[in-house]
Amino acid sequence: MSLADRTGIATARRVVVKVGSSSISGENAHRIQPLVEALAAAHGRGVEIVLVSSGAIATGMPFLKLDERPNDLATQQAAAAVGQNVLIYRYQAALREFQIVAGQVLLTAGDLENPTHRSNARRAMDRLLGLRILPIVNENDTVATHEIRFGDNDRLAALVAQLIGADALVLLSDIESLYTCPPDQPGARPIREVAYGESLDDFEFGSTVVNSVGTGGAATKVSAARLAASAGVGVLVTSADRVAEALEGADIGTWFAANPAPTAAIPVASVN
C-alpha cells in the first residue's frame, strides 16, 4: 500500500530500515541493542521488517589491526569477510531475547541487474519474511568490485525496498532530519516534507563523504529517497537514535512522499 504520510509506518505491512556503519560499529557498537529493540517491537506488532545494515568493513577493522578504513579493495574485502561474521553474531545475540532469528542476505549490484538472481533474491526474502525471520541485508563486499558496487547502502536499501514491495523505507542518519543546507551553517532549516516530484534544487546537501568507517552523506540519502519514492515507497530520513519513534509513526524526520502512480520497476542498471 502507498502510505499517505509518516504516521502510516506504524501499521505498514512491510518496512525496510537502513543503518550506517557509524551508528553501529566501533565505539557505537552498543547501539545495536536499542536498534534491535525497536525492530523487535515493530516485528511484534506484525510488521515485516528488513534491516539493511552497513558496518562489515568497520566491524572487521579492529580484528585486522587497522586504525582507519582501508583504501585498497583486497583489504576492504578481507575486513568485510571478518566483520560480516561478527556483525551478524552481534545482531543475533541482541535478537535472542525477543526470540527472533536473523537471516543474512548479501547482494551485489550484479545480482539485481541479473533477472534470475533478482527473482531468486526476491523469493528468498519473501520466504524469510513469511517465516517471521528478520533478513539483514548488506552488500557482498568480498566479491564486489569497484566497477559493480552500489556505492552506498542507502541506494541498496532503496533498491531492496523496491524489490520486495515495501510500504516504507526508513533511512537512519546521525541527524534528526535533512536540512536546507548543512546544519552547521547559519540559516539551516529542517525539511519536514518533500512532496513527490518537488524540486530540491534550492537546497544544498553535503556530497558523499568517506570517513574512518564508512561512506555516505545527505546527498546519498536524498538520491536514495527519490529512487524509492519513484517506485511508490514512502521514505523517512531521521536519526538512528529515534528509530523506535520512527517505526511508531512519530512526527519526526524528513518524509518523502511516494509516487501515487508508480509505473514499471526502475531499471536496476542505473545502480552504478
Contacts of 150 (CB under 8 A, 6+ apart): 108, 109, 139, 156, 159, 271
C-alpha count within 13 angstroms, C-beta hemisphere, residue 128: 22
Do the annotations mark residue 174 as ligand-binding?
A: yes
Closest by alpha carbon to 137, among 62, 87, 205?
Answer: 87
Q: What is the pLDDT of residue 210?
A: 39
Q: pLDDT value at position 1?
A: 65
Q: Give the whole-angstrom CA distance, residue 3 versus residue 12.
A: 8
Q: Is residue 112 part of a domain?
A: yes
Of residues 169, 155, 148, the one with CA closest to residue 219: 155
How far is the C-alpha of 159 from the C-alpha of 165, rounded, in Å?
A: 10
Closest CA to 221 of 169, 171, 271: 171
Residue 115, domain member (yes or no) = yes
> Is 153 annotated as ligand-binding?
yes
DSSP labels for 141-193?
A: TTT--TTT--SSHHHHHHHHHHHTT-SEEEEEESSSS-BSS-TTSTT--B--E
| CATH code of 118's domain | 3.40.1160.10
Domain assignment present for residue 1? The answer is: no
Instruction: Quote the pLDDT of residue 73.
Output: 86
Residue 270 lies in a domain: no
* Total-model pTM: 0.91
Where in the sequence is the domain holding 196, given as residue range(s)? 6-259
Does 20 reside within a domain? Answer: yes
- Is 259 annotated as ligand-binding? no
Q: How many domains does the chain have?
A: 1
- Alpha-carbon torsion (39, 213, 148, 265), positive or negative: positive
Q: Do the Cβ atoms of 203 and 269 come closer than 8 Å?
A: no
pLDDT digits (tens, 9 = 90+) for 210-233: 344 444 578 889 999 999 999 999
Strands 254-256 and 234-239: antiparallel
pLDDT tens for the chain, 272 residues long, are 679 899 999 999 999 999 998 899 989 999 999 999 999 999 999 999 999 999 999 999 999 999 998 888 889 889 999 999 999 999 999 999 999 999 999 998 788 888 999 999 999 999 999 999 999 999 887 777 664 466 678 999 999 999 999 999 999 988 899 998 888 888 889 999 999 989 888 787 755 443 444 445 788 899 999 999 999 999 999 999 999 999 999 999 999 999 998 865 544 434 43
- Looking only at the bridges linking them, the beta strands covering 234-239 and 134-139 are unpaired
Cβ 60 vs Cβ 81: under 8 Å: yes
pLDDT at 24: 93
Predicted local confidence at residue 269, as pLDDT: 39
154 falls within a domain: yes
Quick check: is 252 in a domain? yes
H or E element: which one contains 106? strand 102-107
pLDDT recorded at residue 149: 60
User: What pLDDT does 71 receive?
Assistant: 87
* CA atoms 100, 103, 221, 63: torsion sign: positive
Q: For residue 159, tell me if it sits in a domain.
A: yes
**Angle between helices 32-44 and 73-95 in degrees, nearest 10:** 60
54 assigned ligand-binding residue: yes
